[in-house]
Structure formats: C-alpha cells, structure tokens
Amino acid sequence: MQVLGIKTGLIRVGDDLAEVVEKGLAEAGLCLQDGDVLVISESALATAEGSVVDLKGVVPTRRAETLARRYCKDPAEMEMILQESDELIGGIPGVVLTLKDGFLFPNAGLDRSNAPHDCVVLLPKNPCRSAQALRERLSKGKRVAVIIGDSRTHPLRLGCVGVALACAGLEPVEDARGQRDLFGRELKITRKAVADNLVSAAQIVMGEGDEGIPAVMIRGAPVRLTDEEASCIPSIPPQECMYIGVLRGGMRPYQGGRDELISAARGALQEAYAPYSGFRVGAALLAGSGRIYTAGNVENASSGAGICAERAAVIKAISSGEREMAALAVVGDTEEPITPCGICRQMLVEFGSDIEVVMVNRDGRAVLATAAELLPSPFSREAL
Ligand code: THU
C-alpha cells in the first residue's frame, strides 16, 4: 500500500477544492487509477467552503458566558460551540465534549489551528455530500474513493488518530463477524473501521501543522470500493457505547415499560404541599408487593423540616410494611428530567441498588438509571 501526500498552497475561503487537489496531483506527477483512495482533511474542506468564523463578531448568550466560565473558554468560542452542536455533554478546563449528528466532537469540531488570527474553522457543512461531489469531480471515469478525514483522541490515550467524517465510494466499516480467529473461534463483535484506519495512515504523511498537505492518495489499499452513494459513517446510540454508557452514570433515555408509574407520579403532583417554593414534585414508588405508593413534596415554614416527594413515597411504602422496591418515577415542572437530590438517592439505595429510577420533565421526556448508578459509592450498612 502506498501513501502519498499531495502538497498544495494555503487553502482559502472560496477555493475550488477539487481543482486544488487536481493541481496538487498533477504537480506530484500522479494520475488517479482504479482502486485509489483520496483522503482529504476536513479543515481544508471547511475552509474552502467558507466555514470560517471571526470570533470578534460573535455575541455570546448568557448560557455561553456561564459555560465559558465553567470550562475556562472564550465566551465567543463557547457561543459557536453551542450553535454548532446538538448537545454539550460536559467538559474539563479548556475543552468541552459535544454531540453532533450522533458523533462526539471536542469543542463541536471547532478548530483554531490552521485558522486565520481570531478565527475558528467550523466542521464542513455536509461532509457526505462533499465527499460525493469531490469523488465525481476527481474520478475522471476511474473507480476511486474519497474520505473526509479528521483527527481524534481515544479516552486515556495521548495523541490523535484519524477518523473519517464521511466517505464516498468505499464501505466505511467492514463487518468481520463470522470470520474465524487463529484458533478457529468465530469473531462475534469485530467490525473494521476501514475508513478511519485509512485516515490514520494518511495522517502519517499529512501532519497537523504547516506541512501544507491537505490531501493524501492511498494506492493499493486492500479495501472494498463501492459504486453506491456516499455513506455517512455509521454511529451507535450513546446507550450502546461503552464509554458514554459508563461515564454518563448509566443515565439513558426511557424506552417504555413504566408508563403506569409515570402517570401515578404525575397524578401525585396534586399531593404536593409547596407553598414556599411553588415547585411541585410528584413521585410514585412501585414496591415489592406490586402496590404503588405516591407522594408529593411537603414543605414547611421551617425549611429544613420539609421533605422531597421521593422520600415521602419511600416512607409511605416502608410504613406500610414494604421492604423491597422495584422502581420509582419522579415528575417535576422542569425543562430537563428532574433528578433526585442526594439525600433521596441515599434513602433509595438503602432499599435496593437495582431500583429503577425514571426521571421525567414537564413534557413527559424521561430518562432512566438505577439507584446505584445515581449514587456511586454510597454510605452503606457495611461501614457500620
Ligand atoms: N424536591 C423534591 O421533592 N424532589 C427532588 O428531586 C428535588 C426537590 C422538592 C423539595 C422542595 O420542596 C422543592 O422541591 C424545592 O427544592
């Protein structure tokens, strides 16, 4: 397999990327052949298509300012990150982790490197469509593939590897399930991220700095080219992802099965006594006997004497003789699904680490986690 860098001049907004790459190929004395794969850097594509933003002209919202303070970032950059991503998952000082179109990106894919002063390069607008268009322009009747490449780190690993944002003319992931290993055992979960691996190979010659090599030609790669339309790189839902599944503390979207409990919790909003905060919460607890115990939050003029809806429901169940609990639903008049406070988590986990907790917002959007996931490392009777 040969991996050859294609040198170009600095790519500017408005450049015709296919023309730039063709010129680079010609200057390197290269002519595309059947089976060749072109890897093109996403930042070159984004720059050419004009996805460059001058941060001096960006006015941050209050949310962007708050998050910028929390994660030690420039408020204007945070504003662009919020605009460019579907969800902000969290962050550490200097970097936030975001979801966009089903993929994780640091800082929503915004890039300050290789961007003019005070500017950031956004992600390409539609890498799938661009991969297809570049393939059509560059192939000249040959059977070639185009991959739009980006770089990413893996959890706990130092250094970037290549990932494909989109590709055309190539199956991005090959299914190796069903093949045999050296000992004849059938492979059960192995899929080969072929497109990602090719981007990694390309990045060995591309570099990340001032090399001026935004495209790479790979010849002789043992991969399957296709004539199908450009395909987006397949993703998996967050709850099936090992990293996200573990790190999100098990919090996953509710997928049905506890509707009756949720309506009972919603009904219990009427049981709330919340004249001080005006914030009503309803809880419904499904106990081992199959009975449902409901409660609202009960406030008091002496604020510390109040109790949350969840604990009020637990107390009703325990004082009715129950000792086992299967599930708890809690509903609040909140934007995001309401999550039980620390004391309620401690009280719940006492009666079962597997209790399913369904947390619901005002519109019925619900997420789910077990009591133990909501309170890792609880204080427990073993300590006494
Ligand atoms: N509250 C609950 O009942 N459950 C929760 O999960 C969070 C908070 C109540 C306690 C208080 O009456 C009011 O909400 C405002 O804190």
Instruction: Between 118 and 79, name the one with better pLDDT.
Output: 79
Average pLDDT, the chain: 92
Using one digit for the tens of pLDDT, what is the confidence trace for 316-335?
999 999 999 999 999 999 98
Pocket of ligand 1 (CB under 6 A): 274, 277, 279, 281, 297, 299, 306, 308-310, 330, 338, 340-341, 344
Using one digit for the tens of pLDDT, what is the confidence trace for 279-299?
999 999 999 999 999 999 999
Domains of the chain: 2-51+124-247 (3.30.1330.100), 252-383 (3.40.140.10)
Measured CA to CA, the distance from residue 301 to residue 299 in angstroms comes to: 7
Probe ligand 1: pick from 270, 276, 308, max atoms within 8 Å of CB? 308
Probe ligand 1: pick from 341, 357, 367, max atoms within 8 Å of CB? 341
Question: Can you tell me which atom of ligand 1 is nearest the CA of 274?
Answer: 12
Planar angle of CA 13, 18, 19, nearest 5 degrees: 85
Query: 281 CA distance to ligand 1 centroid (A)?
Result: 6
| Model confidence band, residue 37 (pLDDT cutoffs 50, 70, 90) | very high
Beta strands in the chain (DSSP E): 2-6, 37-41, 52-54, 87-92, 95-100, 103-106, 119-121, 145-152, 161-168, 174-175, 191-192, 215-219, 231-232, 252-253, 281-287, 292-296, 325-332, 356-360, 366-370
| Model confidence band, residue 87 (pLDDT cutoffs 50, 70, 90) | confident
Measured CA to CA, the distance from residue 52 to residue 58 in angstroms comes to: 12
| Model confidence band, residue 210 (pLDDT cutoffs 50, 70, 90) | low
Per-residue pLDDT for 207 more than 80? no
Using one digit for the tens of pLDDT, what is the confidence trace for 337-349?
999 999 999 999 9
Query: 290 CA distance to ligand 1 centroid (A)?
Result: 26
Q: What is the pLDDT of residue 242?
A: 84
Q: What is the pLDDT of residue 208?
A: 63
Q: What is the pLDDT of residue 241?
A: 85
Measured CA to CA, the distance from residue 97 to residue 87 in angstroms comes to: 9
Measured CA to CA, the distance from residue 202 to residue 218 in angstroms comes to: 8
Q: What is the pLDDT of residue 189?
A: 67
* Angle at which helices 127-139 and 17-27 cross, to 10°: 40
Query: 67 CA distance to ligand 1 centroid (A)?
Result: 25
Average pLDDT value for residue range 179-193: 81
Instruction: Between 147 and 177, name the one with better pLDDT.
Output: 147
Q: How much is the pTM?
A: 0.73
Closest C-alpha residue for ligand 1 atom 6: 340
Per-residue pLDDT for 204 more than 80? yes
Question: Can you tell me which atom of ligand 1 is nearest the CA of 339?
Answer: 6
